[in-house]
Structure 1
Amino acid sequence: MRRKLHAWCATLGVLALSGCNWYYNTLPSPDDLMKLVPWFDHMIKSPAVHPYMRSDVPRTTVPGTVPVDAVEGDWGAEWTAGNWASADRITNPTDPASTLVVGDSVYHIYCTVCHGPAGAADGPVSPKIGAPSLLTPKAQGLSDGHIYSLIRYGRGVMPRYGDKIVLPQERWAVVNYVRKLQADAAARTAAGGTP
């Protein structure tokens, strides 16, 4: 009997106290405590900062800037607009002799189907789409950066291969291999053969 009475009293007490909000009026709120410390009060009254409010701060990087995270820069918008100056300024950072094996492999995976095994535009798809020869004087006159950008972004009927040949070192290896194909064709022509 006594246990039941205590249980009823406890239950009624909990119900009575849960319906009241007396603690809101008697206990200090965290905001009241913050106002007691001077610098917290100052932080509440400080003006908000809008980091993009100023318009006189430059937003774009200077062309040729090396990214902080060492990720390759993106000149795709300039390239697709026909501005090839950025691409022509890019220099080949690799040693051509050391990348020819990788370049040969990647070239035969992605490029042979259109440009042919020797770069003479005699691949199985070339007659259907009109892929250009890599051995012409025009192709030989392109800068390494221009060829690299063609591989990365594509142009005309050539699709972009930047999403397939992901590593920049492999793209440069293909550029070096194309230069080797051009040199081999020039040597064959000088010897009296066909390019």
Structure 2
Amino acid sequence: MKNILKITIALAFLFSLSSCWGDKSKPNYQYMPDMYKSVGYETYTENPNFSNGMTTQLPVEGTIARGDVPYEYENTNEGYEAAKIDLKNPLELTEANLDNGKKMYDIYCMSCHGKSGAGDGVLVQREKFLGIPNYKDREITEGSIYHVIMHGRNLMGSHSSQLTTKERWQVTMYVQQLRTELLK
């Protein structure tokens, strides 16, 4: 009985060992050859998988990239006036929003507009920019503030690339608070 068990174990070992040698010239079957040997295409090279034949594809017309919020108001005087009348802040007036609005204002706005929004920032004091408006001298609304942050106006450039949509609205909220304090 012991010999039969030993012989069976030895045969099983030899059989499994013999499967390691054999004809290597015949590969196994490939059910999905693209998974084994993928075709890599370089950027800006021809690619037969697309109708225009190019590897790099533009986004589909009319689509919006993930995380982007479309801004409907054009960078014109008419767009500015429309935003001034129609555009409203979707964020709630909270301490957290005001605090972050202040942080963003201190980074991006205070150098020109000043700490209180009186148009007396460091760059104005050094005469790098002149004619920065005082918030109390202008008829501004939350829509016009957001529009100017988005597109810029006169000497002020756009800050849309530095601030997210939420941060722009928070800065708008903080600027409105500064304006209210200046009007007192």
TM score, norm. by length of structure 2: 0.57
Percent of counterpart pairs with the same letter? Answer: 29
Which blocks of at least 5 consecutive residues in structure 1 are unaligned? 1-58, 61-66, 188-195
Matched, 1:169 2:166: yes
Which blocks of at least 5 consecutive residues in structure 2 are unaligned? 1-60
User: Take 1:82 and 1:128, find their aligned partners in 2: how far apart are those partners?
Assistant: 29
CA contact (8 A) 1:75 1:86 kept: no
User: Take 2:71 and 2:91, find their aligned partners in 1: how far apart are those partners?
Assistant: 19
Q: In the alignment, which of 106, 109, 117 is matched to residue 108 of structure 1?
A: 106
More helix by share: 1
Matched, 1:83 2:79: yes
Question: What is the identity, as a one-letter code, of the residue corresponding to 2:128?
Answer: K
Instruction: Count matched residues.
Output: 118
Runs of at least 4 residues off by over 6 Å: 67-70
Question: What is the identity, as a one-letter code, of the residue corresponding to 1:83?
Answer: G
**Displacement after TM superposition at 1:97 (Å):** 2.7
Question: What is the identity, as a one-letter code, of the residue corresponding to 1:111?
Answer: C
CA contact (8 A) 1:144 1:175 kept: yes
User: Take 1:144 and 1:85, find their aligned partners in 2: how far apart are those partners?
Assistant: 12
User: Take 1:153 and 1:68, find their aligned partners in 2: how far apart are those partners?
Assistant: 19
Please give the residue correspondences for 1:75-154 in structure 2 after superposition, counting only pairs within 5 Å: 75=72, 78-80=74-76, 82-88=78-84, 89-98=86-95, 99-126=97-124, 127-130=127-130, 131-136=132-137, 138=138, 141-154=139-152
Task: Please tell me the root mean square deviation across aligned C-alpha atoms, in Å.
Answer: 2.4
Q: Which has the larger radius of gyration?
A: 1
User: Take 2:114 and 2:162, find their aligned partners in 1: how far apart are those partners?
Assistant: 19
* Structure 1 SS opposite 2:112: helix
TM score, norm. by length of structure 1: 0.54
